[in-house]
Structure 1
């Protein structure tokens, strides 16, 4: 008897955060991208992306506050 279970992706949250941070710089090899696409959990990638955006906005606000002061 064969059951149709969805494919479990085993990528860790740390690996997702690393992939998102590298994508912010825009420097990823195609092989690394394809490996990430096959192994990372999409929910982890979304959460890591939101955290990365929050950090980026915080750094921009900090830089602006130093420039204005």
Structure 2
């Protein structure tokens, strides 16, 4: 190994809040380029999938409740 080469840093762990924020911004279609690249490097795809499914079910349940309340 060359003394000037540094080992790659391990992937950072992300918080649940960062994953929630990334999914929320993605659902409405607003993602800044730099934030998107940072999220790609740090957020685990399984976490995004789980949070996305939970958000989808919550959205559908909210729509159902809204319709029942109006009708």
The TM-score bracket by the shorter chain reads 0.7 to 0.9
- After the TM superposition, which parts of structure 1 deviate over 4 Å for at least 4 consecutive aligned residues? none
Based on CA coordinates, which of the two structures has the bigger radius of gyration?
2
**Paired residues, what number?**
62
- TM-score, normalised to structure 1, is 0.77
- TM-score, normalised to structure 2, is 0.75
RMSD of Structure 2 on Structure 1 (CA)? 1.4
The answer for unaligned runs of 5 or more in structure 1 is 1-6
Q: Does 1 or 2 have the higher relative contact order (CA < 8 Å, sep 6+)? A: 1
